[in-house]
Structure 1
Amino acid sequence: MTAERDLVRVDHLTITFLVDNTIEWMTKLPPGFRHELRHRIMDDPKVDTRTGLPFVDLESYCCGAHGFSALIETSIGGEDKQYTLFDTGPDSRSLVRNVQGMKTPVDKIGCVVLSHWHSDHSGGLLSFLRYRREYMAKEQISETGQIVIDLHPDRPLARGISPPPFDRVMARLPDDPTFEEIETAGGTVQLNKVGHLVARGTVYVSGEIPRVTSYEAGIPGAKRWFEEAGTGRWEAEPHVMDERYALIDVLGKGLVIFTACSHAGVVNVCRDAVTRFNRPIHMVIGGLHLAGPEFEPRIGPTTKFFSTDLRPSPTYVLPMHCTGFAAKVALREALGDGCVPAGTGIKVDVKGDRDFDPRLPPPVMV
């Protein structure tokens, strides 16, 4: 059986955004979305002893950072909840701080999926694993199961930035964690380059994303370091082929897609997901990589895809991380309230509907 055929549809999905570039406290959100401020004051208040009112303890609230991380909680009938961490942010501080602030159940996370080898997605992995180990020791929680770290096997030695119109590498990204470092910090490395399931079959992690959309031509200026016979060199790497997306299929709603950074192109991601699962898209989440002048020509056709070419259109698009201001404005104009300004600290509850599921229309793409 294939992973696509074995994917288990869930009737409850909860998402907690633990790292993103932005903090969003004020904007009106759709049903099922909760700001961090509301969550802290209404659900988990710290009470001021002088006034008796909930205290806005800004010292412990979430911080933004240039990266992405989301906690994915899946369940069926409210039973056997599975916790999957998708990406880990850019550094050793932001994810741990935000995990502590949101009181994330780190001991229950059974799998970490790294979307691709870029440090703004992998930089918090080791500090998260060390914090998890320390937390479990402090709370005297026995580790009954391994925490799987799901990785693409093609880890680069280094990646660099050569923004157009320059042809030289301007800077390099920090090192991604090595397999040995991950194992030492308490993770169990599993290498996957084809589509597969995690979280007891409730989360699909893609393999290589087909590049079929003409205007999604990779990342100009992306470079990779190679070494051979004692010498090193930078080579162009526009397509970042180790990138993967994740998705969940919610009964009565359809696919919820996590696209991380969209180096492959978010349209390519959605086309692949719809082709594989023949289910409508309920939600697209993550960085759409449309920021910067070199990507502006892609904003129009990408917006048209979501608003016109894909039928039915996604119920919600959450443009985060590397999407860029111009693309967010264009998506908001085209999709209205279907474009949601999500950010760090926001929680999303997606409740399935078994009775409605058989009537979901199959998707159509132009």
Structure 2
Amino acid sequence: MLFDADPDPTVLKENAEKLGLDLSKIDLIVISHEPGDHIRGLKYIAEIMGDKPIKVYVPKHMTSSAKKWIRELGFNVIEIERIIVIAKGVAVIGELYGPPYEQALAVNVKGRGLVIFVGCSHPGVDNIVKKAVSDLNEKPYIVIGGFHLVGASEDRIASVANSLIKLGLKKIYPMHCSGDSIRGYIRKVPRDIRRWRSRTKDYNKGERMNSISNCEALT
């Protein structure tokens, strides 16, 4: 499974090689939202996937031109508006409006809670986490990805960070478009949720994914 696809096919290829990942084994892809820095790497996946049909889950209100481009690469485009379970313990959190429309990915780690992957969080990272918690009826564990806070005011930074803390997140990983200010703010909070690096192996190694409950009626 792949969440977002880098800004360039070469970047995706090099990153996968450095991590020792064989992307030809991917059978599911989730795209958070439209801008090219999240989808252009799909060209590399298209080159190596052979005849294997790969589902790409995109926001329903992504532009028709972007969806057409992905289809022309040979992918099976699945448009998502509401929450849907795509694998055991894995759900796509239905789109929220930023602008643009954006969706997220949630993985339920057994005994820990939801690991929520976000692209740029145009609708607000705290709003995305709240929606995931509400729709899945599970506690949040980690949020990781872009928080869309570059250039944000100190008040906005504090508001978002405190909102995430109050939601009960144990680890917070600001990346991509998050900016240095949010990282600096998080350094000041209690140690058990103070996380600002991109490394994620501490939660995904050796921990089993649990099935997500309370989703069937929402698909």
- Which residue, 268, 277, 283 being the options, matches 2:136? 277
Number of the residue aligned with 2:201: 347
| Structure 2 letter corresponding to 1:325 | D
Q: CA offset at residue 300 of structure 1? A: 0.9
Number of the residue aligned with 1:329: 184
Structure 1 pair 249/335, CA: closer, same or farther in 2 (3 Å)?
Answer: same
| Structure 2 letter corresponding to 1:95 | L
Moved more, 282-291 or 334-343: 334-343
TM-score, normalised via structure 1 length: 0.52
* Alpha-carbon separation, structure 1, partners of 2:82 and 2:135: 13
Equivalent residues in 2 for 1:1-366, closer than 5 Å: 84-130=1-47, 132-133=48-49, 143=51, 145-156=52-63, 178-198=66-86, 200-209=87-96, 239-292=98-151, 294-307=152-165, 309-310=166-167, 313-336=168-191, 338-343=193-198, 347-348=201-202, 349-352=204-207
Q: CA offset at residue 326 of structure 1? A: 0.9
Q: CA offset at residue 207 of structure 1? A: 1.4
* Alpha-carbon separation, structure 1, partners of 2:143 and 2:27: 23
Q: CA offset at residue 123 of structure 1? A: 2.0
* Alpha-carbon separation, structure 1, partners of 2:105 and 2:35: 16
Q: CA offset at residue 122 of structure 1? A: 1.3
SS at 1:342 equivalent: coil
* Alpha-carbon separation, structure 1, partners of 2:200 and 2:135: 29
Structure 1 pair 121/339, CA: closer, same or farther in 2 (3 Å)?
Answer: farther
* Alpha-carbon separation, structure 2, partners of 1:243 and 1:295: 23
Tell me the alpha carbon deviations over residues 136-165 of structure 1, each in whole angstroms, 9 at most, x when there is no partner. 6xxxxxx5x4211111233338xxxxxxxx
SS at 1:154 equivalent: coil
SS at 2:169 equivalent: coil
* Alpha-carbon separation, structure 2, partners of 1:353 and 1:92: 31
Number of the residue aligned with 1:74: none
Structure 1 pair 255/182, CA: closer, same or farther in 2 (3 Å)?
Answer: same
Tell me the alpha carbon deviations over residues 208-261 of structure 1, each in whole angstroms, 9 at most, x when there is no partner. 33x7xxxxxxxxxxxxxxxxxxxxxxxxxxx22420011011111011111211
CA contact (8 A) 1:253 1:352 kept: no
* Alpha-carbon separation, structure 1, partners of 2:85 and 2:148: 26
Tell me the alpha carbon deviations over residues 244-290 of structure 1, each in whole angstroms, 9 at most, x when there is no partner. 01101111101111121110101111111122223221111111111
| Residues matched between the structures, number | 209
CA contact (8 A) 2:172 2:194 kept: yes
RMSD: 2.5
| Structure 1 letter corresponding to 2:147 | L
SS at 2:123 equivalent: coil
| Structure 1 letter corresponding to 2:70 | I
Structure 1 pair 208/295, CA: closer, same or farther in 2 (3 Å)?
Answer: farther
| Structure 2 letter corresponding to 1:97 | E
Structure 2 unaligned residues grouped into runs of 5+ = 211-219
TM-score, normalised via structure 2 length: 0.83
**Which structure has the larger Rg over C-alpha atoms?**
1
| Structure 2 letter corresponding to 1:155 | M
* Alpha-carbon separation, structure 1, partners of 2:135 and 2:170: 19
| Structure 1 letter corresponding to 2:59 | H
Percent identical pairs in the alignment equals 29
Structure 1 pair 179/290, CA: closer, same or farther in 2 (3 Å)?
Answer: closer
Name the structure with the higher helix share.
2
SS at 1:206 equivalent: strand
SS at 1:319 equivalent: strand
CA contact (8 A) 1:260 1:286 kept: yes
